[in-house]
Structure 1
Amino acid sequence: MSAKKTYEILAEAFHQEQVETCFALLGDANMNWATALAGLGCDFVYVRHEHCAVAAAMAYARSRNTVGVSTVTCGPGLTQVMTALPAAVRAHIPLVVFAGESPLKNHWYNQELEQAPFVKACGADYHALHHPDRMLRQIRDAFVQAQEEMRPVVLGVPFDLQNLDWKGDSKLPAPSRDVLPKMRPMPPHPEDVADMAAVIAEKRKVIVMAGLGALRSEGATEACKALAERCGGLLATTLPVRGMFHDDPFNLSIAGGFSSDVTRECFAEADMVIAVGASLANHNSYNGTLYPNAEVLRIDTAPTTLTQGRITAHRHLRGDAGMSVRALVEALGPRDANAPSWRSPELADRIRTSPADGSVHAQEQGLLDPRDVAIALDAALPKTWEAVNSSGHCSYFFAQMPDRPVENFLTIREFGAIGNGTSFAMGVAAAKPGKPVVMFDGDGSLLMHIQELETMKRHGMKVLICVMNDGAYGSEIHKLRSEGLTDEGAVFGRPDFAAIARGFGLQGETVTDLDTLPDLARRFEASSGPAIWDFHVSDQILSPLMQRAHPK
């Protein structure tokens, strides 16, 4: 029997980490390893661009609450992921990327690159696997590091070493799941709870705002609802967890640049914001201007004073989100029936019925209002479908779907890069096979990785792409116009996405009548593959975020 190759043993080390899906684009430095891992039962999604392999792994990791795994080849294969790596770093998503390396034995190799500085400049970490005696442990340690630091780790393995017969010890080290600390949730200190409860009791207009830390904490959703009710206050979330309180009548939904008109009004009146497991980033607080009159209490397992250059909170309570909020509710005690309350049937009705953006814009003949498109899609598409929001100007409109539960709505936009929608949709489709996925995107973003339509078709992914087609880079034209400059460098005309879809073997529709959406949704649900719905929208309608940031 011939000896195993090194790449086979390395594949076994990944297999031991219970890697179920890997997103890949093959080349000399990773194809043998990937073939071996696939042979061990790992599902592979073979994409058409390296960036999409890493970006899809991001969405998969967030959807499955696991480590995302992807692979690209060395040199130019790795440089293609320069946008995806910092995006994963900013979003705190654990990834392990098998990147290969150029062969050590060659005096010259045209794809050679100093890969470590490149990767580290993106905020990820890099490990060169150059010695067989250390390789297996380095792989395990990469999975540990990715989970402890919540960021990507890239592994570089020269492909001439991969192809050597394995002569080291074939016994695999204990997997990451056996060495990671098993930590119970951290309770808050009783004295801190008492102090914070006394402060909260004096407030009259409280907003409980939850972030990813609350979503990941057992029982925190219901605890936050109970705290808001106890205070006679309201609920809100950061953008990544919009929909966490989708069934509560006093849910203001998104706090930050994407806030609705009513949400902004309420935050302006608030005298206390209780941030539960939220990072209080600039976008979330709208650069510190969203709640100018509120005292901020931050609940976190590792509270910090400064976030993105700002002092974000006046008070801190260290502890697990769910445990801390439940402790506050208990410390506050039963609510006095005569205590003043911000809640009222009238406010609940305003939250439910008021449009997210009430600004008035002139109607353009033959073009749709993007706000109407988002409202119609929200009404026509089942709430059980998985939803994915991309970035760009259109992402504001698509975010205004507060009744969709957070478990079925993915938003990753911490790096602000467009072009990720198709990748994120593929990641969600792989994470939740068999479920329809609807991806909301803009025309400029979709065109950046239009080749992945073929990937979706080949892998049988049931992805519906809804594209707001304004024939331009939406954010850029509004910024240029606000500066009094020509927008011709950002205007490109409206591609026929329905025809493009059919060219890839997908369904394609140009939607001009929003009343047809329920029937189109039923037809898509009964179909077996991906589709594009193309909405020609007016480029004269600015999102409120753009209106405030770039007034004419």
Structure 2
Amino acid sequence: MNDAPAPVQTGSADAPAYVHLARAFAAEGVETLFTLMGDGNMHWATALSEEPGVRTYHVRHEHCAAAMAMGYALASGKVGVASVTCGPGLTQLSTALATAAQARVPLVVFSGDVPIDASFYNQRIDQAPVVAATGAHYISATSKKRMLELVREAFYIARTERRPVVLGVPYDLQKQTLPTPHEYVPSAAFIPDTKPRTPHPADLEQAAAAIAASDRVIVVAGRGVLRSGAEAECVALADLCGGMLATTLPVRGMFDHHPFGIGISGGFAREVGRELFGEADLIVAVGASLSHYTADGGSLFRNARVLHVDVEPLGLRHGRKAADLHLESDAKIGLAALVAALEARGRRPAAWRTPELARRIAEEPADSTEFAVEPGVMDPREAVAALDRAIPKTWEIVSGSGHCSYFHAQMRGRRAENFHTIREFGAIGNGLSYAVGVATARPDNNVVLVDGDGGFLMHVQELETVRRHGLKILFCVLNDGAYGSEIHKLRADGLDDGGAVFGRGDLGALARGFGLAGAVVTEPGQFEQLAEAFQAGDRAEVWDIHVSDQVTSPVMRKAHPKKR
């Protein structure tokens, strides 16, 4: 157990409960709050906003408050905190909570709950089942005696289980006083102070033997590598084997500096990467969840065995066998031990690496398929390549969802630490909010969102939030004038796509209507000048990038081939 911090006095004896609750959140280290206030949470949110060091962002939609907190958690490594009122305020969170639960994002939401002494309340709903259905955890704080303990429990669960927790407090109770004493000990005092997990010698020997017997090894790194700082160990293992380096989508770019870094493992794999995965005889997946997407449904490396190095190694994942061999260990420690064991065996690099292969990795396009692009718009691959050249490699990139996400995932030479994506649950419409969360977590760097027009417009009202709080974010919208995934699926099935087509309009003008800068981009040559102006400016901008709706991603072509 960690050394227990000194108890925090949460307020005077006659202070209302919402003051003590706010002080307890502050004691948990909360520095940033995203909220939309109503009767059920406005007293608490105001009290927390008055705590020293707390920044509060008042948003326009409850879902966005939670999504912003998710983006903040992803970029900061801290627990994200949001707040909504009871009833309809809470029900608006279902998509965000489901996404956070599946993505294992630590999140605490302070929600009002219906007054316990009210015989009638028109916003009454049983909130616990709504939250539980999303996979999040609900805590009903109806005990004044245990109310502060329940705050600690919420943060403990969020931190140790990496999941969203909703703390529901009846708002008539929030105004009552609490029984004394009012001392609060934060959750960190109760989290076990365990050391990184080391591999079992027998498992280590089995893993080393499997690698030594393999000729074509690909090391695939996931978020666990980023968290444990094991990038160098991944490189050392691949170099020792003469193998390739790849990543899952969330840590895309980690090995772009390496001549044999082949990009993303999964449906977003580049052409040369897919070819090399097909040749591999062993995949060493490190700190990765081995999801359906990482293996492209099992088709990507069907001829290879899989060794999973993880603190929680998996045998079954998304209905398919995840791995053949398992090494239960912290990524950094486990890989260092594997390298040492292989060096002791005298392991020599295989002959897979060649100068010609390094050239192909560096020069060949991710997708070489040709399309007929209509006049006045760009091929999205061309647009993303121009954008990639125009904006500095050190900027934060937030990846939206939808059909367009394949194209901007191919941007290269950008560190994994500066790439932010939450793709679980398949919901579009979150990118703008995630970008706000990342911008608040990393205020000293420029933040760029790349998203599609359909998702961007779902919560475009938050541009007003961006302007009001003075956030400088660059919103790059790949605008095909439609819901991209839907039009390509409908076309593949030979059906009318009219219900998913809306036209491009002028999102630059829309941005200016919110008091921000905006421009329509129809030529690759526009990006460089726009980037220079954005860097010199002091406000957020929207670039409405008009792209063709005729270009389909490899993921879409594979999953939805056209009917003959």
Q: TM-score, normalised by structure 2?
A: 0.96
CA distance in 2, matches of 1:235, 1:6: 53
DSSP 3-state at the match of 2:112: coil
Match of 1:477?
A: 487
Cα drift, residue 402 of structure 1: 2.6
Contact 2:27 2:186 in 1 (8 A): yes
Per the TM alignment, residue 365 of structure 1 is displaced from its structure 2 partner at its CA by 1.1
For residues 347 and 291 of structure 1, the distance between their equivalents in structure 2, rounded to whole angstroms, comes to 19
1:6 Cα deviation (Å)? 0.8
What's 1:302 paired with?
312
Tell me how far 1:515 sits from its aligned partner. 1.3
Show the counterpart of 1:138: 150
User: Unaligned regions of 5+ residues in structure 1, if any?
Assistant: none
Matched to 1:430, the amino acid is T
Q: 1:401 aligns with which of 390, 411, 414?
A: 411
- Return closer, same or farther for 1:233/1:374 CA change in 2, 3 Å cut-off: same
Q: Does the 8 Å contact 1:50/1:81 carry over to 2? A: yes
Q: Which amino acid aligns with 2:557?
A: Q
Contact 2:435 2:449 in 1 (8 A): yes
The equivalent of 1:164 in structure 2 is 176
Matched, 1:429 2:439: yes
Q: Is the 8 A contact 1:217 1:321 kept in 2?
A: yes
Say which of 181, 198, 213 aligns to 2:192.
Answer: 181
Aligned length: 550
One-letter amino acid matched to 2:110: F
Cα separation, 2, equivalents of 1:84 and 1:392: 16
Equivalent position of 2:7 in the other structure: none
User: Shift of the alpha carbon at 1:524?
Assistant: 0.2
CA distance in 2, matches of 1:453, 1:10: 31
Q: Name the SS for the 1:146 alignment partner.
A: helix
1:353-392 matched pairs, under 5 angstroms: 353-392=363-402
CA distance in structure 1 between the partners assigned to 2:539 and 2:477 by the alignment: 17
| 3-state SS, counterpart of residue 466 of structure 1 | strand
Structure 1 pair 338/188, CA: closer, same or farther in 2 (3 Å)?
closer
Residues 224-257 of structure 1, C-alpha deviations (whole Å, 9 max, x = no match): 0000000000000001111122311111111001
Deviation for aligned residue 1:177: 1.2
The match for 2:259 is 249
1:17 is aligned to 28
Matches within 5 A, 1:193-204: 193-204=204-215
Deviations 1:428-461 (A, max 9, x none): 0000113211100111001100000001111111
- Cα displacement (A) at 1:340: 3.1
Give, in whole Å, the separation in 1 of the partners of 2:348 and 2:541. 55
Matched, 1:461 2:453: no
- CA change 1:99–1:339 in 2 (3 A) is closer
> Once the 2 structures are TM-superposed, how far is the Cα of residue 2 of structure 1 from its aligned partner?
8.8
1:497 aligned to which of 474, 492, 507: 507
What residue identity is the alignment partner of 1:143? Answer: F
Is residue 332 of structure 1 aligned with residue 342 of structure 2? yes
Q: CA deviation at 1:344?
A: 1.4
Deviation at 1:165, TM superposition (A): 2.9
CA distance in 1, matches of 2:528, 2:192: 49
Q: Does 1:513 align with 2:523?
A: yes
TM-score by length of 1: 0.98
Alpha carbons of structure 1 residues 9 and 205: separation in structure 2 relative to 1, 3 Å:
same
For 1:321, the equivalent position in structure 2 comes to: 331
Give deviations 1:84-141, integer Å, cap 9, x for gaps: 0010011111100001101111111011110000000000000000011101011011
Aligned partner of 1:118 in structure 2 is 130
Q: Where does residue 99 of structure 2 map in the other structure?
A: 87
1:191 shift after superposition = 2.1
Q: In structure 2, what is the equivalent of residue 150 of structure 1?
A: 162
Tell me the equivalent position of 1:541. Answer: 551
State the Cα distance separating 1:495 from its structure 2 match: 2.3
* 1:64-75 equivalences in 2 (<5 Å): 64-75=76-87
Shift of 1:334: 7.0
Change (3 A) 1:337 1:325: closer
Are the counterparts in 2 of residues 133 and 169 from structure 1 also a CA contact under 8 Å? Answer: no
What secondary structure does 1:208 align onto? strand
CA distance in 2, matches of 1:370, 1:385: 21
Structure 2 unaligned runs (5+)?
1-11
Q: Which amino acid aligns with 2:150?
A: Q
Instruction: Tell me the equivalent position of 2:538.
Output: 528
1:223 aligns with 2:266: no
Q: Residue deviations 1:301-343, cap 9 Å, x none?
A: 1212111111111111111111111111010117969753211
